[in-house]
Structure 1
Amino acid sequence: MLETLFFQHESQIIWTAIVVFLILLLRFTLKQSAKRIAKRDELNFVRTRLIFKYINVLVFFIAVFGLLLIWGVEIRELALVFSSVFAVLGLALFAIWSVLSNITSGIIMFFSFPYKLGDKIKIHDKDFPIEGIIEDIKAFQLHLRTDEDELVTYPNNLILQKPVTLLKKDALLDKPDYGDR
């Protein structure tokens, strides 16, 4: 019975194995590239792990799309399903566009943000100018520690829109250790 099943779907099984291998290779290559960029730019491992999650989601969708095509789902049907799903997601994300904007900004900041953890920066915001040391860069916001020892979270999408001045590199080395905050 298993042998009959194999011979009935021999080409799909072989193509599935090829796609799985290529997907794993793609995932490995993308993660190695992200690791190299993180190492070159001396980025925090937590930020790198966040990019790994995004890579996993991207590779998962590519794998599902490829496997559905191999196993006989018509492109027209697949396009209908994906367009419906993306329409619903688009409406949902439009309702919470700032979340998507902050995630996108977080990805951009991973690859091209000129400041690192420990740098003291000044954000020139006319409504809320702030000066502090970068403690962490999350998916949605930047954590800044002010001279008054206040923790300020600043949205990633705004940090890319405002002028920022680097006041001091590695300013955390000058601050006393307050333990876990």
Structure 2
Amino acid sequence: MQEFLFSYRHELIGTVITFGLLIILKFITDKTIRKIGRISDIVEARTLLITKYASTLWTVIGFGVISFIWGVNFREVGLVFSSVFAVIGVALFASWSILSNITAGVILFFSFPFKIGDRVKIMDKDMEIEEPFLIEDIRAFHVSLRKKNGELLIYPNNLMMQKAVTLIYNSEDDPDGSEEA
């Protein structure tokens, strides 16, 4: 055991430092995302979702750094990863909208000018609906919009970014939701 510790002491120290840095970076990222969510008055569920995405990203980066520290032969690992990514790439190409909706959901978290409870009108020529929608929920893949008659529309996040969206009234302007749009 002592021989192992002595011969791999640099790798072990690098691994411990990497884990320490990852914990600190995850903590800072988590605090920053929660603060942005609080300041922007974003629903806690959305904040937790973005926190989960950031944590996954830091974990993947950490595995890459630890692999580099321990001197993993990247040519052999590269063959495995290229095969896996080829399969994933075909699957994502077949359903590219899933990836674009997740990306749009992350972007909307940080820059979305609308909140749950706001009334919006979507300028989409394919939609023949002229009345405004109430934003009920904003998820990773879609936004739940409700018409006055109770009908629910599930609208993809990527289209929410691509189409013009007009704010009819803000939830802070009408806290009880009684304003007619």
Normalised by the length of structure 1, the TM-score is 0.88
Distance (whole Å) between structure 2 residues aligned to residue 146 and residue 172 of structure 1: 18
Q: In the alignment, is residue 14 of structure 1 matched against residue 50 of structure 2? A: no
Q: In the alignment, is residue 157 of structure 1 matched against residue 158 of structure 2? A: yes
Opposite residue 176 of structure 2, the aligned amino acid is: L
Distance (whole Å) between structure 2 residues aligned to residue 172 and residue 125 of structure 1: 28
Gaps of 5+ in 2: none
1:169 Cα shift?
Answer: 1.0
Give identity over the alignment, percent.
45
Opposite residue 132 of structure 2, the aligned amino acid is: E
Matched length: 174
Runs of 4+ in 1 over 6 A off after TM superposition: none
Opposite residue 30 of structure 2, the aligned amino acid is: K
Match of 1:116 in 2: 115
Opposite residue 21 of structure 2, the aligned amino acid is: L
Opposite residue 71 of structure 1, the aligned amino acid is: W
Match of 2:137 in 1: 136
Opposite residue 49 of structure 1, the aligned amino acid is: L
Distance (whole Å) between structure 2 residues aligned to residue 51 and residue 97 of structure 1: 20
Gaps of 5+ in 1: 176-181
Opposite residue 124 of structure 1, the aligned amino acid is: M
Distance (whole Å) between structure 2 residues aligned to residue 163 and residue 62 of structure 1: 36
Match of 2:45 in 1: 46
Q: In the alignment, is residue 125 of structure 1 matched against residue 124 of structure 2? A: yes
| Equivalent residues of 1:123, 1:131 under 8 A apart | yes
Opposite residue 29 of structure 1, the aligned amino acid is: I
Normalised by the length of structure 2, the TM-score is 0.88
